[in-house]
Amino acid sequence: MTEIYFYSNAADKLRVACRLCEKALSQNARIIVYALNQTTLEKLDKLLWTFQQTSFLPHCFMHDDTALVKSTPIVLSGSVVLENGCTILLNLHEQCPPDFAQFKRVIEVAGQSYADKISARKRYRFYQQAGYVLHHHQLQQH
């Protein structure tokens, strides 16, 4: 069954997303980052190139060349598609992603704004009421 991981109190959701992508990469996992907002995906795209000082986090958009999508560990997408070997879905949308249960792990990042907290609580309750295993990490401010 899919396990759900919540990371709450993110001062910068995209930087947290980069850290989580970096962690997945270090574990040789493939990850799809889901957001319906194309601007969010484009900002994340730029950040993944510059997040690490000495290298970048290898990624592509779902609509890029099919061969590239199948071999790149981080895939940015406005739709939820189970790609070969992708076991993690990172949700940057305010609602539960469609077809999330096909992944081993779903990661939810909740920001500090009131609206973001409310939508994250709704997603948390949805997963909880559906019987999914939930893990919650409260992010500390630096």
List pLDDT tens digits, range 88-127: 999 999 999 999 999 999 999 999 999 999 999 999 999 9
Query: In sequence order, which residues have a C-beta less than 8 Å from that of residue 58 and are 6 or more positions away?
Result: 25, 72, 73, 74
List pLDDT tens digits, range 14-27: 999 999 999 999 99
| pLDDT score recorded for residue 54 | 79
| CB atoms near residue 30 (< 10 Å) | 18
CA neighbor of 29 nearest in space, from 87, 100, 107: 87
Q: What is the dihedral of CA 68, 106, 24, 84, to 10 degrees?
A: -30
List pLDDT tens digits, range 21-75: 999 999 999 999 999 999 999 999 999 999 877 778 999 898 887 657 788 899 9
Fold of the domain built from segment(s) 3-138:
Rossmann fold (3.40.50)
| pLDDT score recorded for residue 51 | 86
Q: Is residue 123 within 8 Å of 7, Cβ to Cβ? A: no
Tokens standing for residue 61: 């958009």
Is a pLDDT exceeding 70 seen at residue 141? no
| pLDDT score recorded for residue 66 | 66
Enumerate the domain spans of the chain.
Answer: 3-138
Q: pTM of the entire structure?
A: 0.92
